[in-house]
Amino acid sequence: MAWLKKKSPCGQVSEGRIPKHIAFIADGNGRWANERGLPRFEGHRVGKDAIKKVIDRCFDRGVSVVSLYLFSTENFNRPKDEVEYIFNLFRQMSGELVKSLLKRDAQFRLMGDLSLLPADIQVSINDIIQKTSTCASRVVNFGLAYGSRHEIVGAVNKLLASGIKVITEENFKNYLDTAGLPDPDLIVRASGEQRLSNFMLYQAAYSEFYFPKKYWPDFDEKVVDECIEAYQNRKRRFGNI
Ligand code: FPP
């Protein structure tokens, strides 16, 4: 029985209905810092540590695909030093990231326009993709320089260039950055804001949404469990009755 909840050894989270794919929108780093009288940068720095906690807990709970919206196409409009600080955090974490991906047999994917990122980050991302390309158990999908409208328009242009005359749902999804990945079962936005902000607009057609009132730097194992429990209490009908 799909709705029957089996208690897992560590809490309320059911082993039976674990979302295959959870997509997180990291938000509230600035407010987290502001409320503590700290500069915005501190929110991003602590937010970087939340990424690892969240991925690890998701994988421990049996989630196969974890997407994280970390930097949007619109975020390039922020002050230069903030943008550079965020990219530096990626530079700092990339070595550890590869190690932990390999340990988890997790493939790294990028959702976003690689060409918009600084040259050394492009090299680093290609390197992580290559090093984890044979990992087959799980996926970590980073949204960097990502915007869903940009992705959709890009997909249409690639389809036109390929000579395909008729666009179908099947061939269209193969041209999205998420090609080959299941749609997110659950989309979680940190900070309590309830909007998608140009995230996975096509893929979210049947996703469940959850908006914990927690800023991204406060995301940890407990919050991930709370998200999964919230998902387990939803009835998904996919348009059926
Ligand atoms: C949104 O919070 C967060 C971001 C735009 C950046 C996310 C960055 C990290 C999680 C750090 C690690 C990053 C990488 C790329 C490894 P906000 O700054 O919009 O917060 P606010 O709405 O409270 O101002």
> Could you tell me the CATH number of the domain that includes residue 92?
3.40.1180.10
| Residue owning the nearest CA to atom 15 of ligand 1 | 90
14 falls in which pLDDT band (50, 70, 90)? Answer: low
* Catalytic residue check, 75: yes
Given a cut of 60, is residue 203 above it in pLDDT?
Answer: yes
CA 231-108-12 angle, to 5 degrees, is 25
Is 241 a domain residue?
no
Q: Are 159 and 175 in contact (CB under 8 A)?
A: yes
Q: How far, in Å, CA of 72 to CA of 217, rounded? A: 18
Q: How far, in Å, CA of 32 to CA of 45, rounded? A: 11
Q: What is the mean pLDDT of residues 180-207?
A: 98
Is 3 a domain residue?
no
Q: How far, in Å, CA of 200 to CA of 198, rounded? A: 7
* Closest residue by Cα to residue 208 from 232, 181, 233, 185: 185
Percent of the chain residues past pLDDT 70, beyond the cut: 94
pLDDT digits (tens, 9 = 90+) for 58-101: 999 999 999 999 999 999 999 999 999 999 999 999 999 999 99
**So what's the pLDDT on residue 241?**
75
Given a cut of 80, is residue 163 above it in pLDDT?
Answer: yes
**So what's the pLDDT on residue 9?**
41
Q: What is the mean pLDDT of residues 6-20?
A: 64
Q: How far, in Å, CA of 25 to CA of 29, rounded? A: 11
Range of the structural domain that residue 126 is part of: 21-147+183-232
Q: What is the mean pLDDT of residues 199-219?
A: 98
Q: How far, in Å, CA of 225 to CA of 14, rounded? A: 10
* 30 Cβ inside 6 Å of ligand 1: yes
Into how many domains does the chain fold? 1
Is 174 a domain residue?
no
Name the helix (H) or strand (E) containing 111.
Answer: strand 106-111
Is 27 a domain residue?
yes
Q: How far, in Å, CA of 160 to CA of 57, rounded? A: 41
* 29 Cβ inside 6 Å of ligand 1: yes
57 falls in which pLDDT band (50, 70, 90)? Answer: very high
Given a cut of 80, is residue 43 above it in pLDDT?
Answer: yes
Q: What is the mean pLDDT of residues 214-238?
A: 95
Is 43 a domain residue?
yes
**44 CA closest ligand 1 atom index:** 11
Which has the minimum average pLDDT: 67-81, 102-116, 205-219, 224-238?
224-238
Q: Which residue has the tokens 């950055």?
A: 177
* 44 Cβ inside 6 Å of ligand 1: yes
User: Cα dihedral angle (59, 60, 62, 64), rounded to 10 degrees?
Assistant: 10
Is 86 a domain residue?
yes
Whole-prediction pTM value? Answer: 0.93
Is 16 a domain residue?
no
Is 7 a domain residue?
no
Catalytic pick from 34, 75, 88, 198?
75
Q: How far, in Å, CA of 104 to CA of 98, rounded? A: 10
**45 CA closest ligand 1 atom index:** 11
The token pair that represents 211 in the structure block: 């908006």
pLDDT, mean over the chain: 94
* 27 Cβ inside 6 Å of ligand 1: yes
Given a cut of 60, is residue 136 above it in pLDDT?
Answer: yes
* Catalytic residue check, 240: no
